[in-house]
Amino acid sequence: MDDRQHGGVRMDDLEFVLQRPNTWTTVYVDGPAGEPPDTVEQRMDALERRLEDAGAPEADRRAVASALGAGGAPAFPSSRWLAVRDGRVEAGASFAGPRLGPERVVHGAFPEVAPLLRHMSTESRILIIETERAGARLSTEQVGRADRRTAGVVDGEEGQITKVQAGGWSHANYQRHAEEVWRRNQSEVAEAANQLIEEQRPDRIFVTGDVRARTMLIDDLRVTDPERIVEVDADTLAAGSDDTALDRAIEESVADAGRRLIDDARDRSAAGDGREGANGVAEVVEALQQGRAEVVVLDPRMTESSTELIALSSEPWIALSSAADYDVEGTPVAAAEALARAAIMTGAQVLFDEEDLADAEARPTTAAAPPIAVLRWPRTEQEEAARDQQGHPSQAEGEDPESERVRDPFIDGHPSQAEGEDPGDR
């Protein structure tokens, strides 16, 4: 199991809450916006009514109200995700930034995890080193989740650097001495930074500050992939400075890294004439059933579709239209939720291919792209031959290819129903 923590949720905890159907209440709403107390009370009353309308029991409604009223959320704008069962918050997360998608207030057999996973897709753990000749400030941040935290301050030998030395030293001697002091200070900073790198395993390391100090420090950082280090041409510790350049560098670097993850997954899934990947709902479901999917990429617009797949109570965790063939309990759930759940239960990474929209830009109304998966091992020649012989996709004898079940915009290549099966019969 993956024990990394995202947004306050550990992945092994998420596997636990998704394992078997129960009665779950899921809430995904905006965080506090600094409203007056009367406005907050009205908003909570409205949420209470929505929870009751969704069928959430009173104990769950009380647990939600208590959790949302406890404070501790990131600064506005922010969002909150809660999964509640039997009056207890089993999993919860707070995220910096606005919601990614509509609010969700639902009660059902499984918690809805797509909103949570969309935020996880955009998260990045970073280390920020703001260095100067006499020391540095080190901070950690989970981008998209919480505010920046100071992890440590390194105070070096400031006096011998900034004061003119007495005793008739030549300028050259002073320069050599100052250089030695700078190096010792940056060595101390590097030691503290390398410890944090080992403990926190940041995705990116941002280095700002005095130009000479940055150069010395970067040479001493123990990083296997130098591309993880981003040097920011700004001295954020100088008097009168601000974090504008640093914040912009973080935003651009994290967005670029997320884009590369998606592009890499798409390239890998297309490798070997497509033998390295699965494309479309039917193929991705098959890959998940086999525990073969390493990465699953979903279009966020899938979360708005009414199409359902079957969430199974045990392996193989997901089915296209019926649980009867697997001798396990099955529950119809939204297709995006079923795919995401099966990916989590089989240890696959879930990525959402978010659109890069400018502020206030309307989202295109084009249909959702079909899901794809990167396979842990490629299809064999025999599997490819069988797949080609079968034809993909195909309709079973007598199936109407224009039936409502196969016309969902994100399904491309949905397998057929068995002969004589009613496409609407669950």
Asked if residue 17 has pLDDT above 80, the reply is: yes
Separation between Cα atoms, residue 87 and residue 420, nearest integer Å: 44
Greater confidence (7 vs 364) lies with 364
Burial of residue 240 (number of CB atoms within 10 Å: 0-12, 13-18, 19+): exposed
Separation between Cα atoms, residue 98 and residue 413, nearest integer Å: 34
Residue found under tokens 């935020």 = 119
Helix (H) or strand (E) holding 62: helix 58-68
Q: What is the pLDDT of residue 150?
A: 66
DSSP per residue, 340-406: HHHHHHTT-EEEE------TTPPPP-PPPPPPEEEESSPPPHHHHHHHHHH-SS-PPTT--TT-GGG
Separation between Cα atoms, residue 397 and residue 231, nearest integer Å: 62
pTM of the model: 0.81
Greater confidence (2 vs 293) lies with 293
pLDDT band at residue 58 using 50, 70 and 90 as cut-offs: very high
* Residue 370: closest CA among 283, 258, 264, 275: 283
End-to-end CA distance of the chain: 32
For the domain spanning 1-122, the CATH number is: 3.30.960
Helix (H) or strand (E) holding 45: helix 37-54
For 124-260, the fitting CATH number among 3.60.20.40, 3.30.930.10, 3.20.20.140, 3.30.420.60 is 3.30.420.60
Asked if residue 224 has pLDDT above 60, the reply is: yes
- 225: tokens are 């992939």
**Sequence ranges of the chain with CATH classification 3.30.960:** 1-122
**Sequence ranges of the chain with CATH classification 3.30.420.60:** 124-260
Q: Cis omega before residue 77 (within 30°)?
A: yes
Asked if residue 74 has pLDDT above 80, the reply is: no
Q: What is the pLDDT of residue 293?
A: 98
> CA-CA-CA-CA torsion for 251, 252, 257, 263, nearest 10 degrees?
130
Number of Cβ within a 10 Å radius of residue 35: 12
Q: pLDDT (tens digit, 9 = 90+) per residue, 357-399?
A: 655 556 666 789 999 999 999 988 888 887 777 665 433 333 3
CATH class given for the domain over 271-426: alpha beta
Q: pLDDT (tens digit, 9 = 90+) per residue, 296-329?
A: 999 999 999 999 999 999 999 999 999 999 999 9
CA dihedral sign of residues 322, 324, 327, 330: positive
Q: Which of 47-51, 187-191, 360-364, 418-422 has the lowest average pLDDT? A: 418-422
Q: pLDDT (tens digit, 9 = 90+) per residue, 84-111?
A: 999 999 999 999 888 999 999 999 999 9
Q: Amino acid letter at 259?
A: R
Helix (H, G, I), strand (E, B) or coil at 28: strand
**Sequence ranges of the chain with CATH classification 3.30.1330:** 271-426
Separation between Cα atoms, residue 426 and residue 412, nearest integer Å: 20
Separation between Cα atoms, residue 416 and residue 394, nearest integer Å: 6
Separation between Cα atoms, residue 285 and residue 335, nearest integer Å: 10
Separation between Cα atoms, residue 334 and residue 349, nearest integer Å: 19
Beta bridge partners of 209: 131
Q: What is the pLDDT of residue 146?
A: 61
Separation between Cα atoms, residue 171 and residue 177, nearest integer Å: 10
Q: What is the pLDDT of residue 172?
A: 61
Q: What is the pLDDT of residue 378?
A: 93
